[in-house]
A and B are shown apart, each in its own frame.
Chain A
Amino acid sequence: MTAVDVSSVSRSATAADAPQKLRKQGKRRFGADAAAIVIALIVAFPLFWMVLSALKPKTALDAGDAAPYTLEPSLDSFGRVLGVNNFGQYFLNSVIVALVVVVLSTVLAFLAAVALTRYNFKMRTKLLIIILVSQMVPVEALTIPLFFLLRNAGEAIPLVGLNQLGSLVLVHVGFSIPFAIWMLRGFVAAVPLEVEEAARLDGASSFRFVRSILFPLVAPGVVACSVFSFISTWNDFLFAKTFIISAQENQTLPMALLTFFKPDQNDWGAIMAGSVIMTIPVLIFFVSVQRKLVSGLAGAVKG
């Protein structure tokens, strides 16, 4: 997976990787490798168990089958999950909300990051501190005022009222922006001033420079920060639970998953299958973004 090699592309090797060291530490390195493999297996185990349990037949699960393999993999659990009313709808809702949030929040955060890194103005530091502090407010506590805000907003603009996907989009854009600005700052600051001056000498307006030169240069950062907004939106179940009260057709995926939790008898096969379905898009996003990152970074760093 290219994902991992970001740093080796962007930077030269560390001292620890220098060849003389390799030879000296041959034995220790073996120990380190072995330890790392064991750790990697432990870290991967819950995910492995999730996929495995999703594939085990229901009878085996109910009998408490603890074997680390299954001889008769079945897709029954997936069938039960997909058979839930509206499951496809929930999935689609989650995708729509996440994608809209990603696009909106990255664009807004990018523009703000440009202002906060490439311009020096009086309020700059204060604004940065405000952004840091705004991350500390527990999102969950704000569900109370947001609930009322959206209820009132819905009367004016139905699209963003309670029970609408628009309400989730709005809220998540708001919560994604501070961290996105915080992250993008570094990328935007890393583009040398000379590039900007050259563009200006060539007659580019400020906005032209931002759009046609700066944006492509920091694209990897933009993509990276989009992962974060994507994950936090995709994972959210609290807002969905609180704001989507009666319109079940606008519910999102995590809530669908929670319907399989029953006080007396959890349907673990279905829960695991649902978990697999829910985790896969995030993994895909992660991995695909990593690729772009590597190529983009190599260019951005040299430029």
Chain B
Amino acid sequence: MTALTPVLPDAPQGGTPSKGSTTAARKSPRFSNGKRGLEPWLYLAPAFIVLIALLGYPIFQLINVSLYDYRQAQVSGKAPLNFVGLENYQKLFADPQFWTVLGNTVVFATACVVFTLLVGSSLAVLATRLRPWVRSMLFVVSLGAWATPAVTGSAVWLFLFEPTLGLVNKTLVAIGLTQFEGYSWTYDKWSAFGLVASEVVWCSFPFVLVTVYAGIQAIPTEVIEAARIDGASMPRIARSIMLPMLRPIVIVVTIQSIIWNFKIFSQIYIMTNGGGIAGQNLVLNVYGYQQAFAASLYGLGSALGVIMTALLMVITLVYLRILKRTGEAL
């Protein structure tokens, strides 16, 4: 979202009680001091009514269903509803497939996050040194990749890597690597994950590129000028001024990437045809969906959803904690 551009530098400020983050841009106090008790709630009400109905209640129901033995028979009312407590969770924890899927998810999502951030931010730094028309070209192309819907992006990448007709194999064979004749990229577990991951990085690095670039642009020229006049070298400026000032943006971008990449669904579902051969490419999200809607084990699927949410919250909390220890929080 290029839209974030002008705002992100101070966006994190409001996120938590904005201690410590003193942005030069904001001179006036944040709030007027009028006493207006109910007013904010009136503005909040419509959004929160929707959120409670469509997020709050379903989340509660998700937890609820995960505690029941809830299958097709219960849905249609042919069998009584059995409260089974944590049995669904116990079943999952005892199932080796669950641990494999969990491992897959962590490895796959971490790879996606790391590569997205690396590619995005190195291109952002690169973009500051480009001629304007080259920069425009890079941004337009990235916007194109960003705008591509997950379904179509997956389709195109699948086509490029098609075993017999795909351009990639054709090219590899043409340059003499004949072992790629008819090679299936989705047959092997990790090459399939790699293929999906490259599509994910392709369509998600632009978010990082645009936001980090905007962050670099938002650093006031005077600050850097002043540092230069004081005799600071360029690397020194980058390390001691630009990095700390970019920190809030990097935090936001990282958290968003973690949230998005751990939740990848469409790409895996489409590119590996619902989770790969014998489910080798399942990630938690797809696994939960399959358990619920393909196997009609709604209770088990819900338990997986709860685990997934908890996992994301833990990861984000740990990340924020580490940040706090190393310096300012968001």
Chain A residues in the interface with B (C-beta under 8 A):
1, 3-8, 10-18, 25, 28-29, 32-33, 35-37, 39-40, 43-44, 46-47, 49-50, 53, 61-62, 64, 66, 107-109, 111-112, 114-121, 124-125, 127-129, 132-146, 148-149, 170-171, 173-175, 177-178, 181, 183, 185-187, 189-190, 192-194, 196-197, 206, 210, 220-221, 223-225, 227-228, 231, 234-235, 237-238, 242, 254, 257-258, 261, 268, 271-272, 274-276, 278-279, 282-283, 285-287, 289-290, 293, 297, 300-301
Contacts and interface: CB of A to CB of B under 8 A. Distances in A.
A57 B35 CA distance: 69
A137 B59 contact: yes
A50 B214 CA distance: 30
Given A137-B59, A144-B292, A46 B170 contact: no
Interface in B26-83: 28-32, 36-37, 39-44, 46-48, 50-51, 53-59, 61-62, 64-65, 75
Interface string B207-229: 00000011011111100110010
The 7 closest A-B pairs by CB, nearest first: A224-B3, A141-B305, A174-B54, A186-B7, A145-B61, A275-B152, A186-B11
B128 interface: yes
B189 interface: no
8 contacts: A4-B139, A28-B129, A36-B137, A39-B138, A120-B30, A235-B151, A261-B270, A279-B148
Contacts of A282: 147-149
B62 A145 contact: yes
A46 B160 contact: yes
Contact of A66 (B130, B156, B171, B265): B171
B59 A143 contact: no
B293 A143 contact: yes
Contact of A271 (B137, B159, B284): B159
A107 B65 CA distance: 33
Contacts of A194: 28
Interface in B304-322: 304-306, 308-309, 312-313, 316
Given A174-B53, A297-B5, A66 B170 contact: yes
B50 A197 contact: no
Interface in B255-312: 259, 262-263, 265-266, 269-270, 284-286, 288-289, 292-293, 298, 301-302, 304-306, 308-309, 312
Interface residues of B, number: 123
A128 B14 contact: yes
Contact of B305 (A1, A111, A144, A234): A144
Given A140-B288, A173-B54, A258 B165 contact: no
A210 B43 CA distance: 10
A254 B149 contact: yes
Nearest to A192: B28
Contacts of B304: 141
Contacts of B132: 8
Interface string B91-105: 000000000000000
B14 A4 contact: no
B127 interface: yes
Contacts of B44: 111-112, 115-116, 127
Contact of A136 (B141, B144, B312): B312
Nearest to B7: A186
A116 B93 CA distance: 40
A29 B129 CA distance: 6
Contacts of B329: none
B10 interface: yes
A286 B147 contact: yes
A186 B10 contact: yes
A256 to B, nearest CB: 10
Given A7-B213, A120-B31, A193-B32, A144 B298 contact: yes
B8 A112 contact: no
A33 B302 contact: no
Given A43-B141, A115-B43, A144 B65 contact: yes
B143 interface: yes
